[in-house]
Amino acid sequence: MTGVTDHYDVVVIGSGAGGGTLARTLAMSGKRILLLERGNFLPRELSNWQSPQGPAAGRYVSRDTWYDAAGNSFEPRVHYFAGGATKLYGADLSRLRPADFGEIAHMDGLSPAWPLSYDEFEPWYAKAEWLYQVRGLHGEDPTEGSWSEEYPWPPVSHEPLVQQIADDLDRAGYYPFHVPRGIMLDERNPPASLCIRCVTCDGHPCLVHAKADADLIAVRPLLSRLNVTMLVNAEVTRLKTDRRGHSVTRVIVRRDGVREEYRGDIVVLAAGAVNSAKILLRSVSDRHPDGLANGSGQVGRNFMCHRVADVVALGEKPNETVFAQTLGINAFYLAGEQRRPSQPAGYARRWPLGSIQMLPRSARLAREAIGFRLTTEDLPRPANRVTIDRGKRPRLAYTATNQGEAALLLHEFETMLSRSSLQLTRDETVTVAGVTGAGIADQAGTCRFGSDRATSVLDVHCKAHELDNLYVADASFLPSVGAVGPALTTMANAIRVGEHLVRRLG
Ligand SMILES: Cc1cc2nc3c(=O)[nH]c(=O)nc-3n(C[C@H](O)[C@H](O)[C@H](O)COP(=O)(O)OP(=O)(O)OC[C@H]3O[C@@H](n4cnc5c(N)ncnc54)[C@H](O)[C@@H]3O)c2cc1C
């Protein structure tokens, strides 16, 4: 690492899926980069695997406090570490479906079209899959789009019980598939495999560093590079512009409690959807009285997360599966098509309902219990938004959308189970929705990109419409979230924006 100076070619704020991946893309150009991270490196310790009360309540959750629309405080259960939320993510690295890039009619309104098509975006999906060493298999799931490259590794194989369920569902016409995962598991050569297959992947840091997170894959390889400086415990509090308000000239940081300032020809904000909006909204000035890049009033709006329901089914024998998150079902993802053999001719589902995945075994449940996660798309609503109160604290107003579709997905799921050897245990159905539960994990959409300055914050390259040198490259850019996790799409977009910046910087 170089020593700390105050001027860089590019200052990147946040080292997660967006910021970390973008910094790695840029670093190869030799440009001088400053990476500012609010947290520190997550310690490698036995507690990585021992968090007793599950992911959200564990020791790695930040003490941050946010407020809801009524001003009530809540703990958002976010993680501030090098690598961002990917340090604890489940490493499900799924692509959005081609339909997600177009306009989709939902029960509660429209999911808007992107300024890019799936085919235009696809090359960066392939690059992100190779960078994050994704294990997957194209061609199993009829909802997926075309691919320019095969996955770098074969999919993680199903354990016997999961394989049995997959076979059942395949016979019933539900097209089960292997979920693409960013874990470093080498089943062909077990001694060389980092991953030892355990139940703690989702919601825990990986003690053996076998999870392809943004820290291990993107950030750590940069630390030995002379053109990259990384500062941890460095919280960006606001951005300042030149007098005309056209360019960001100073990045204000609180590092270990001390105020510092840095400058960059280009500034890339990637602090996560809520925190990026917070930084912009706090950066008021005469030229930007409503916050930076916010002439359209769109900064902070269109916040999205996912509607998630964790559902428990009962099998005939004890569930001895260790790594169950290999099975996915997208048979209900799209509206209108994919009539199953069991359905009458002419059956067309009116609404897109979402995705289904198997969950790891839980010690809290019966031995025969088998968990599934049902995920439904959340729609961008202007009123679902981040604002800043008088004390400059973040407020998050949020009302979930598509509850009707979530109910229909549960209904389809029940029907699907009735065609397998599993039974749904109604008593043990747990619904998690809203921003105080697991939903915040997939926060997105607060600075969406688009071609219309009146309805978006960023242009197609993720540069703020109103500023010459400010980019946003985290999950904020998403105009819609589909019903898959946002991580791979955020990483792919960060590579795309990084390559644009390399060209811009010459
Ligand atoms: C438990 C859990 C499981 C998940 N599982 C999956 C999954 O399996 N698949 C999937 O697709 N998605 C998953 N996600 C979501 C996924 O991790 C996020 O969508 C993704 O990390 C978002 O990327 P980002 O760059 O927007 O934010 P992050 O990756 O969170 O990065 C933001 C970074 O900015 C830093 N930061 C924040 N504020 C400041 C500031 N003021 N100054 C400097 N730095 C700052 C943060 O510390 C962080 O490092 C999961 C999330 C969680 C929490």
Query: Using CA atoms in the order 445, 205, 438, 450, what is the torsion angle rounded to 10 degrees?
Result: 10
Cα of 114 vs centre of ligand 1, distance in Å, is 22
Q: Is the CB of 236 under 6 A from ligand 1?
A: yes
Indicate which residue's Cα is closest to atom 53 of ligand 1. 441
Cα of 307 vs centre of ligand 1, distance in Å, is 18
Closest CA to 113 of 122, 96, 101: 101
Number of H helices, E strands in the chain: 7, 20
Cα of 65 vs centre of ligand 1, distance in Å, is 17
Q: Is the CB of 475 under 6 A from ligand 1?
A: yes
- Tell me how far CA of residue 324 lies from CA of 14, 54, 230, in angstroms: 31, 17, 36
CB 379 within 8 A of CB 401: yes
Q: What angle do CA 147, 149, 154 make, to 5 degrees?
A: 105
Cα of 272 vs centre of ligand 1, distance in Å, is 6
Residue 2: per-residue pLDDT: 44
Q: Which of 442, 448, 458, 462 to mutate to test the pocket of ligand 1 (most atoms within 8 A of CB)?
A: 442
Indicate which residue's Cα is closest to atom 38 of ligand 1. 271
Residue 430: per-residue pLDDT: 53
CA atoms of 371 and 90, how far apart (whole Å): 15
- Tell me how far CA of residue 492 lies from CA of 67, 126, 193, 328, 473, in angstroms: 31, 8, 26, 22, 10
CA atoms of 150 and 142, how far apart (whole Å): 16
End-to-end Cα spacing for the chain: 23
Indicate which residue's Cα is closest to atom 47 of ligand 1. 80
CB 216 within 8 A of CB 209: yes
List of E strands, 14-134 = 33-36, 66-68, 73-74, 104-106, 109-111
Cα of 493 vs centre of ligand 1, distance in Å, is 14
Q: Is the CB of 17 under 6 A from ligand 1?
A: yes
Say if pTM beats, i.e. exceeds, 0.85: yes
Q: Is the CB of 394 under 6 A from ligand 1?
A: no
Specify the ligand 1 atom closest to the Cα of 82: 49
Indicate which residue's Cα is closest to atom 2 of ligand 1. 89
Residue 258 has φ and ψ, to the nearest 5°, of -110, 140
- Tell me how far CA of residue 455 lies from CA of 283, 350, 377, 384, 459, in angstroms: 20, 28, 20, 15, 11
Give the DSSP H/E element, type plus range, for residue 292.
Answer: none
CA atoms of 418 and 8, how far apart (whole Å): 60
Residue 349: per-residue pLDDT: 81
Q: For residue 287, how far is the Cα from the chain centroid?
A: 33
Residue for token digits 């306009």?
103
CA atoms of 227 and 484, how far apart (whole Å): 35
Specify the ligand 1 atom closest to the Cα of 19: 25
Query: Using CA atoms in the order 433, 436, 440, 446, what is the torsion angle rounded to 10 degrees?
Result: 100
Q: Could you report the average pLDDT of every consecutive run of 10 residues in the chain (506 residues)?
A: 73 98 96 98 88 59 89 89 96 97 96 98 98 97 96 96 94 95 94 87 91 98 97 97 97 95 97 98 97 97 91 88 93 76 60 94 83 94 95 91 92 89 64 53 96 97 98 98 97 98 96
Residue 436: per-residue pLDDT: 52
Q: Which of 86, 232, 378 to mutate to test the pocket of ligand 1 (most atoms within 8 A of CB)?
A: 86
Q: Is the CB of 85 under 6 A from ligand 1?
A: yes
DSSP string, 137-160: -TTS-TT----SS--SBPPPPPPH
Cα of 412 vs centre of ligand 1, distance in Å, is 31
Specify the ligand 1 atom closest to the Cα of 85: 30
Indicate which residue's Cα is closest to atom 48 of ligand 1. 84
The set of residues, in sequence order, having a beta carbon less than 8 Å from that of 502 and lying 6+ positions away, is 25, 26, 28, 29, 31
Residue 431: per-residue pLDDT: 52
Q: Is the CB of 14 under 6 A from ligand 1?
A: yes
181-197 per-residue burial string, b: 16 or more CB within 10 A, e: under 16: bbbbbeeeeeeebebeb
